[in-house]
Chain A
Amino acid sequence: MASKTNETPVSTDAVPWHADVPESVVDVGCRIRDVLTYSSTYLVFIAMIEVLTVHIVLSIPPNPAPIVVGLVTFAVYAGDRIADAADDEVSSPERSAFVTRHRTLLSVLTAITYGLAIALSLTGGPLALAITLLPGGFWILYASDWLPSLGSYFKRLKRVLIVNSTIVASAWAIAVVGLPLAFAEASVTPLAAVVFVYFLVDTFVNTEIPNVRDVEADEAVGVSTLPVVFGVRRTRHILYGLDLALVAFVVAALSLGILPAAAAAAILVGLGYALVLAWFVGRNAAPGRLAIAGEAKHLVVFALLLVFTTGI
Chain B
Amino acid sequence: MFPPTSAAVPLLFGSVAIGVSAAILAWRARPNPGAMPLVWLLAGQSWWSTCIVFSLSAGTAAEAVFWTRVGWVGVMTVPVAWILFSLEYTGRDEYLTRRNVALLAVIPALTVALALTEEYHGLLYVREVGVTARGSVLVEQGGIWYVVAAGYTYLLAVLGIVPILGLLSSGATAFRGQSAALIVGVVTPWATNVLYNLGAFPNVGIDPTPIAFAISGVAYLGAIDRFRMFGANPAPAWRAKQFLFDHIHEGVVVVDGHDTIVEMNRAAAETLEVDVKRAVGSRGTEMLPLSEPFRTDGERELLTVGTGSASRSYDVGVSELTDRHGGTLGYVFTLHDVTRYLQQQQRLKVLNRVLRHNIRTETNIIQGYAERTSGETAETITQRTARIVEISEKGRDAIDLFEDTVNDRGGTSLVGLLERSLDDARDAFPAVEFELEYPAEDAAVSEGLSVVLNNLIENAALHNDGEDRRVTVTAELDDDRARLRVVDNGPGIDDYELDVLNSGTETPLRHASGLGLWLVKWGTEVIDGSVTFESNDPTGTVVTATVPVRRRGVPDHNA
The answer on a CB contact under 8 Å between B25 and A122 is no
The answer on a CB contact under 8 Å between A112 and B21 is yes
The answer on a CB contact under 8 Å between B2 and A125 is yes
Q: Which of A108, A116, A119, A183 contacts B1 (CB 8 A)?
A: A183
Residues 48-68 of chain A, each 1 if its beta carbon lies under 8 Å from chain B, else 0: 000000000000000100000
The answer on a CB contact under 8 Å between B25 and A119 is no
| Chain A residues closer than 8 Å to B21, beta-carbon distance | 108, 111-112, 114-116
Do A114 and B53 contact each other (CB < 8 Å), given the known contacts A63-B1, A183-B1?
no
The answer on a CB contact under 8 Å between A118 and B17 is yes
Complex CA distance for A126 and B20, rounded to whole angstroms: 16
| Chain A residues closer than 8 Å to B16, beta-carbon distance | 115, 118-119, 122
Distance in angstroms from A102 CB to nearest chain B CB is 15
Q: Is B50 an interface residue (CB 8 A)?
A: yes
The answer on a CB contact under 8 Å between B57 and A125 is yes
| Chain A residues closer than 8 Å to B17, beta-carbon distance | 112, 115-116, 118-119
How many pairs of A and B residues are in contact by the CB < 8 Å rule?
Answer: 57
Residues 74-105 of chain A, each 1 if its beta carbon lies under 8 Å from chain B, else 0: 01000100100000000000000000000000
| Chain B residues closer than 8 Å to A126, beta-carbon distance | 54
The answer on a CB contact under 8 Å between A114 and B1 is no
Q: Is A129 an interface residue (CB 8 A)?
A: yes
The answer on a CB contact under 8 Å between A115 and B18 is yes
Q: Is B390 an interface residue (CB 8 A)?
A: no
Complex CA distance for A118 and B1, rounded to whole angstroms: 15
Distance in angstroms from A63 CB to nearest chain B CB is 7
Complex CA distance for A29 and B50, rounded to whole angstroms: 41
| Chain A residues closer than 8 Å to B46, beta-carbon distance | 118
Do A114 and B54 contact each other (CB < 8 Å), given the known contacts A108-B25, A119-B13?
no
Q: Which of A110, A123, A183 contacts B24 (CB 8 A)?
A: A110
Q: Which of B1, B28, B50 contacts A124 (CB 8 A)?
A: B1
Residues 1-30 of chain B, each 1 if its beta carbon lies under 8 Å from chain A, else 0: 110000000000110111111101100100
Complex CA distance for A122 and B15, rounded to whole angstroms: 12
Complex CA distance for A126 and B63, rounded to whole angstroms: 12
| Chain A residues closer than 8 Å to B18, beta-carbon distance | 115
Q: Is B225 an interface residue (CB 8 A)?
A: yes
Interface of A is mostly: helix
Q: Which of A115, A123, A124, A183 contacts B19 (CB 8 A)?
A: A115
The answer on a CB contact under 8 Å between A122 and B1 is no
The answer on a CB contact under 8 Å between A124 and B2 is yes
Q: Is A107 an interface residue (CB 8 A)?
A: yes
The answer on a CB contact under 8 Å between A111 and B22 is yes
Distance in angstroms from A104 CB to nearest chain B CB is 8
Do A125 and B24 contact each other (CB < 8 Å), given the known contacts A119-B13, A183-B1?
no
| Chain B residues closer than 8 Å to A118, beta-carbon distance | 16-17, 20, 46
User: Quick one: closest A residue to B46, CB to CB?
Assistant: A118
Complex CA distance for A67 and B394, rounded to whole angstroms: 95
Complex CA distance for A310 and B18, rounded to whole angstroms: 40
Complex CA distance for A11 and B273, rounded to whole angstroms: 76
Distance in angstroms from B497 CB to nearest chain A CB is 64
| Chain B residues closer than 8 Å to A129, beta-carbon distance | 50
| Chain A residues closer than 8 Å to B57, beta-carbon distance | 125
User: Quick one: closest A residue to B29, CB to CB?
Assistant: A107
| Chain A residues closer than 8 Å to B53, beta-carbon distance | 122
In A109-153, which residues have CB < 8 Å from any B CB?
A: 110-112, 114-116, 118-120, 122-126, 129
Most chain B beta-carbon contacts within 10 A, residue among A110, A118, A129: A118
The answer on a CB contact under 8 Å between B2 and A123 is yes
Distance in angstroms from A77 CB to nearest chain B CB is 14
Complex CA distance for A129 and B57, rounded to whole angstroms: 14
User: Quick one: closest B residue to A133, CB to CB?
Assistant: B20
Distance in angstroms from B314 CB to nearest chain A CB is 46
Do A115 and B24 contact each other (CB < 8 Å), given the known contacts A122-B53, A125-B57?
yes
Q: Which of B19, B22, B24, B54 contacts A122 (CB 8 A)?
A: B54
Complex CA distance for A110 and B24, rounded to whole angstroms: 9
Complex CA distance for A107 and B29, rounded to whole angstroms: 11
Complex CA distance for A120 and B14, rounded to whole angstroms: 10
Distance in angstroms from A185 CB to nearest chain B CB is 8
User: Quick one: closest A residue to B42, CB to CB?
Assistant: A115
User: Quick one: closest A residue to B24, CB to CB?
Assistant: A111
Distance in angstroms from B20 CB to nearest chain A CB is 4
Complex CA distance for A119 and B213, rounded to whole angstroms: 14
Residues 197-237 of chain B, each 1 if its beta carbon lies under 8 Å from chain A, else 0: 00000000000000000000000000001000000000000
Distance in angstroms from A138 CB to nearest chain B CB is 15
Complex CA distance for A63 and B50, rounded to whole angstroms: 20
Complex CA distance for A302 and B13, rounded to whole angstroms: 32
Q: Which of B1, B22, B28 contacts A123 (CB 8 A)?
A: B1
| Chain B residues closer than 8 Å to A123, beta-carbon distance | 1-2
Distance in angstroms from B12 CB to nearest chain A CB is 8
| Chain B residues closer than 8 Å to A75, beta-carbon distance | 24
Distance in angstroms from A169 CB to nearest chain B CB is 23
Do A122 and B20 contact each other (CB < 8 Å), given the known contacts A108-B225, A111-B25, A129-B50?
no
Complex CA distance for A108 and B24, rounded to whole angstroms: 9
Complex CA distance for A9 and B506, rounded to whole angstroms: 71
Complex CA distance for A119 and B2, rounded to whole angstroms: 12
In B33-77, which residues have CB < 8 Å from any A CB?
A: 46, 50, 53-54, 57
Complex CA distance for A124 and B2, rounded to whole angstroms: 6
Apart from A116-B17, A129-B50: 5 A-B pairs, beta carbons within 8 A: A110-B24, A111-B21, A115-B22, A122-B50, A122-B53
* 12 chain-A/chain-B pairs, Cβ below 8 angstroms: A63-B1, A108-B21, A111-B22, A114-B20, A115-B18, A115-B20, A119-B14, A120-B13, A122-B13, A122-B16, A124-B1, A124-B2
> What 3 A-B pairs come out closest when comparing CB atoms?
A115-B21, A119-B17, A123-B2
